[in-house]
Amino acid sequence: MINQPKAPFTLPQLPYAQNALEPHMSANTFSFHYGKHHNAYVTNLNKMVEGTDLAEKSLEEIIKITAGDLSKAGIFNNAAQVYNHSFFWHSMKPNGGGGPTGKIAEKINESFGSFEKFKEEFKTAAATQFGSGWAWLVLDNGSLKIEKTSNADTPVARGKKAILTIDVWEHAYYLDFQNRRPDYIDTFLNNLVNWEFAEKCLI
């Protein structure tokens, strides 16, 4: 669903319409973010890997192969951003948010002590990521953890399993919330999180 087997990579289909997250995320924000930003990462990545060995590798493989290689930073940044954005769209849904249920709820309680504790840690990570980046819920050695990453960086590069993410680049929220990143994070948790997707990622 998120990974793609080889180039040319495509802008993935969305699991809902671009206005489906209104009023919490506007169609205007969505169309710039998906149609311009995400699309540009796909186009750039295809140009960069064309005619190279990486054209035969999957999106995840490209991320792992180029991570930490400064001569391939451009490829890494675009591949990771294609992956991160695809993951972000699935991390939300219309009428989402609130508390998780089932296996994902049990796992959150087991890993953080309570859902409230998880929320606190996730919000802090997302709010304190300095400049552009992402906050993540990841599965690492069997337990759930919160991480934040800068710019295009992704826990997938280090073999961790992504469960949920929020994009905290300004382009993700500026049109709707201006500089109020904490309000955007609250809206994500209260109205947008797709816990069914998070639960599927546990497996």
Chain residues in the site for Mn ion (CB under 5 A): 167, 169
Tell me the residue number closest to Mn ion, measured at CB: 167
Long-range contacts of 85-88 (CB under 8 A, 24+ apart): 85/33, 85/34, 85/37, 85/38, 85/41, 85/167, 86/1, 86/2, 86/12, 86/38, 87/2, 87/162, 87/165, 88/134, 88/165, 88/166, 88/167
Closer CB to Mn ion, residue 153 or residue 167?
167
**Shortest approach of Mn ion to residue 154 CB, angstroms?**
12
As beta bridge partners, residue 167 has 134
Residue 32 or residue 115: which is nearer to Mn ion going by CB? 32
Closest separation between CB of residue 21 and Mn ion, Å? Answer: 14
Q: Is the peptide bond between 8 and the residue preceding it cis, with omega within 30 degrees of 0?
A: yes
Minimum gap (Å) between residue 77 Cβ and Mn ion: 12
Q: How far is the CB of 95 from Mn ion (least distance, A)?
A: 23
- In the complex with Mn ion, the residue whose CB is nearer, 152 or 198, is 152
Q: Which two tokens stand for residue 196?
A: 């069914």
Q: Closer to Mn ion at the Cβ: 83 or 169?
A: 169
